[in-house]
Chains A and B, each alone.
Chain A
Amino acid sequence: MTKLAIENFSFRYRDSGPDELSQITWTPAAGSFNLLIGASGSGKSTLLKAMTGLLPQFGGTVTSGEITLDDLPIATVAPFERAKRVALLFQNPNRQFAMATPLEQITFALENIQAPAADIPHQVDEALATIGITALANQNLITLSGGEKQKVALATILALGSDYILLDEPFANVDPHARHELMHLLKQLQMHHGKTIIVADHDFSGYPDLIDTVYQLVDHQLTQTDASVLSANTGVDPLFPAPSRNALSPLALDDVSIDMAGRPLIESATFALPAGQLGLLSGVNGSGKSTLFAAITHQRPYRGLLHWDGQDSQKIKMKRWAQTVGLVFQDAMDQFVALTVADELALSQKHTRLPDYWTTARIEQTLDQLNLTPHTEANVYQLSGGQQKKLQVLSMLIMSQPVLLLDEPLAGLDTVSMQHVLDLIQTSIQANHISALMISHQRIGLADYVDYEIHLQGHHLIMGGAQ
C-alpha cells in the first residue's frame, strides 16, 4: 500500500508575499473517503495539485516542509511513477485529455507507465467496463457530455492503478444525475478496490452518507472538522419572489427548449423579463443556467421563439443583438478586449449607449468606489480574480445594453467587494431602466438587491425561489 504524507508543508505561487498554503500536515488514512472543503480561493486546488506533484513542477515555490510518496519527496519521483500511486481528476473535464477518444486516452496513460503492450487492450477494456462506459470507447471526446468526460477521466485513473484518487471539484460541469452516479462509483472504488478518495467540493449534497472525514481549509491552514458543518450550511439562504408580470422589458421567451448532447436540458421555457429590475437565476450546477444565457445571446441553437418587442430576435443581426443584450461572462478572460484597465474602460465609454450618464467623472468616481483607481494602468491579465470581476462588470454596465445577463459576477469576491459591485449594479440598472438577470451561487447578502428569482430545476423554469 502506498503512503502519501504531507509534513509541515507551505507553498506559494509568487516569489514573495503570503503563503497560499501554510504549514499543512496530513496523512490521509489508507482506504478512506475524504471531503475537502473551503471557500473559493482557499487553496483546495493548490493542495491537491501539490499532493500529485504537479506543483511546484508547474509553478510556485515550496516554502517549508515536504510531501512524500512512500517516504520519497514527491518532486523526485518521475511522473509515471507518481501516476501509478496518486492521480488527480481535474475540475475542467475539457482540459485533461491529449488524445481524441477514450480508448486512445487510456492506452496513452498505460503506455506512459510502461505497461506491457500485450496487456494494454485487456486493461483498457476492464477499466471502461468497471466505470460502465464500454459503449463510449471509440467516440470522440469532444462530443461527450461533462459527466461522460469525467467518467473517462475516472476510467483512466483506474487503469493507472493509482491508490489515491484526488478530485478537484469534479462535478462543476456535470448534471445532477451524472453527479449522483459518479459519487457512487467513487464509493465503490473505495469499498471494493481499496482506493483512498479525496474530493474537493463546494456543493455538499449527497456526501454525508459517503464520507469518513471532512477537512477544511481556512486561512491557508487545514483542519479536520465535524461532518455536521455539511448540514449546518443549508437553510439560511433568503428566497425571492416570482418576477412581476407588469412593466416588462421587450425580451420574452416563448416555449424555448435547449438540447445538450442530444438530450433535453431545458424544456418549454416561457417568461418575460421585468424592466429595470435585478433577477436571480438559480439552480444547481449543470442545470443549464449558463446554457440558457448562451441561447438568449444567440451563442447556441435553441427551439421555440425569443421575442424582442414582439419580433423574432433571430431576425436581428448579431452585431445589433450584442448591443441589445449584454453578457458578463463567467470567465473574466473571455470578456476583455483591451490590454490595460484604462483602455478597457475607454473602449466602453466610446461605444456606450448612454454617453450622458457614463461621463468621465462618473467612471472615475465608480473606479474609486471599486478600489480600482490605483490599477488603471495595470494589465488586465495581471489583476487578481476579484479585480477582474469588478472591471468586467463595470465595463459591461458602461455599455448599457437594455438587457444585461450576468454569469456569476460575484464569484471570488470578498464580502465588501461584493457589496460594492451589487450597489453599482443596482444604481445603474435602476437609473437607466436596464433589465438584469444574474446567475449566482452566492445567496447570502443578496436580500437588499435582488427583486425576483427564477429557479431552474428538472429542465424547467420555476418562477420564484424553490423551497
Chain B
Amino acid sequence: MTFNPSVLLIILLGIGFPMAFTQSITANVVVCVLALLYLMLHHANLKTIGLVTLISLPLALGTGWSFIAFGTGDVWLQAWLQVSRLFAYLFLGMSLTLTTPVKDMLMSFVLHLHLSPTFAYGLLAAFNLLPRIQRQVKTIRYSANLRGMTYHLWQPQLYFKAILSAIQWSDDLAQGMASHGFSEGFPRTMTYQDTLPKWQWLVAGILIIGYVGMSFFI
C-alpha cells in the first residue's frame, strides 16, 4: 500500500499536532512501529534510517536525562514520554521524506493541496542548486585563506557571503525560468499525475482519530 504524498502529509500533520500534547507513551510507540513498518514496506534506505537514529540518540538521551535530573513528579514517565515523542516525530517525518522524491512530493502538493506552482518550482530549483552552493562555500573559504584568514563552519561571515551569492543566483534563476515561459498566476499543463483514491483519505482519517483516541483515552 502506497499513500499519496499529500495524504501522507495530512497524516503527518494530523498526528503530529496532537502528539505535542499527548501523555501516552504507548501511542507514540505505536506510531514509531507503524512508521517503521511503512518504511520497510517501501524499501527505504536502511543506512539512512540507521544514521538518522544514531545522530538523534544523544539528543534523545540528553532530553530524557534533563527530565530525570530536573523534572518534578513522575520523572521517568516524563523522560520516556519525551524520548518516545522525539522518535515518533523522527519516524513520521522519514515515512514521507525517505519514500518520496522531493519533486513528486511538491508536484503532489500542487495537484491536491493547492500549493502555488511558483513556490513548488522555486523550492525545487533551490534543491537543485544545493551542490553549487556547496562549491561556493568552498570558494568563500579559499578566498579567506588567500587573505590570511580562516572561516570556520560556525562563523557568520561565511554565511553572509553565501547568502549574497544565493541572492544573485536566485535572480538569474528567475530570469531563466521566465525565459523558458514560466508565468506566475497563469495556468500550466501538469504532466505529473498520481493516483489518490478516496479510501486513502478515509484511512488517513481513521489513523488520525485512532491516534487521538489512543493517546487521550488509553
Partner among B147, B161, B165, B178 whose Cβ is within 8 Å of the Cβ of A79? B178
B180-218 contact mask (Cβ, 8 Å, vs A): 1 or 0: 111100111111000000000000000000000000000
For residue B159, CB closer than 8 A to chain A, the reply is no
Partner among A109, A329, A347 whose Cβ is within 8 Å of the Cβ of B180? A109
Partner among A54, A83, A95 whose Cβ is within 8 Å of the Cβ of B181? A83
Residues on B with beta carbons closer than 8 Å to the beta carbon of A111: 188-191
In the complex, residue of chain A having the shortest beta-carbon distance to the beta carbon of B148: A351
Task: Let me know if A156 and B168 touch, CB within 8 A.
Answer: no
Partner among A49, A83, A116, A333 whose Cβ is within 8 Å of the Cβ of B189? A116
B128-161 contact mask (Cβ, 8 Å, vs A): 1 or 0: 1001100000111011111111100000010001
Distance of A350 Cα from B147 Cα, bound (Å): 9
Interface size class of B (residues with CB under 8 A): 35 or more
Residues on A with beta carbons closer than 8 Å to the beta carbon of B191: 107, 111, 117, 120-121
B14-26 contact mask (Cβ, 8 Å, vs A): 1 or 0: 0000000000000
For residue B53, CB closer than 8 A to chain A, the reply is no
Given A94-B132, A97-B128, A160-B181, decide whether A318 and B172 contact each other with a Cβ distance below 8 A. Answer: no
For residue A192, CB closer than 8 A to chain B, the reply is no
A329 to chain B, nearest CB (A): 7
Given A299-B142, A337-B147, A395-B147, decide whether A95 and B182 contact each other with a Cβ distance below 8 A. Answer: no
In the complex, residue of chain B having the shortest beta-carbon distance to the beta carbon of A116: B189
In the complex, residue of chain A having the shortest beta-carbon distance to the beta carbon of B161: A337
B139 to chain A, nearest CB (A): 5
Task: Let me know if B147 and A84 touch, CB within 8 A.
Answer: no
For residue A334, CB closer than 8 A to chain B, the reply is yes
Task: Let me know if A99 and B124 touch, CB within 8 A.
Answer: yes
A220 to chain B, nearest CB (A): 22
For residue A323, CB closer than 8 A to chain B, the reply is yes
Task: Let me know if A319 and B146 touch, CB within 8 A.
Answer: no
Partner among A57, A82, A99, A120 whose Cβ is within 8 Å of the Cβ of B128? A99
Residues on B with beta carbons closer than 8 Å to the beta carbon of A396: 146
Known contacts A84-B181, A399-B148; can you find 14 more A-B pairs with CB under 8 A? A57-B178, A79-B182, A80-B188, A90-B172, A112-B180, A116-B189, A120-B189, A142-B131, A297-B142, A327-B146, A347-B147, A348-B147, A399-B147, A401-B146
What are 12 pairs between A and B in contact, CB < 8 Å? A83-B179, A87-B180, A95-B169, A98-B124, A99-B125, A104-B103, A109-B180, A117-B189, A327-B146, A337-B161, A348-B147, A399-B148
Q: Which 9 A-B pairs have the closest CB atoms?
A: A351-B148, A83-B181, A112-B181, A322-B145, A96-B176, A95-B172, A98-B125, A80-B181, A79-B183
Interface residues of B (CB under 8 A from A): 103, 121, 124-125, 128, 131-132, 138-140, 142-150, 157, 161, 164-165, 168-169, 171-183, 186-191
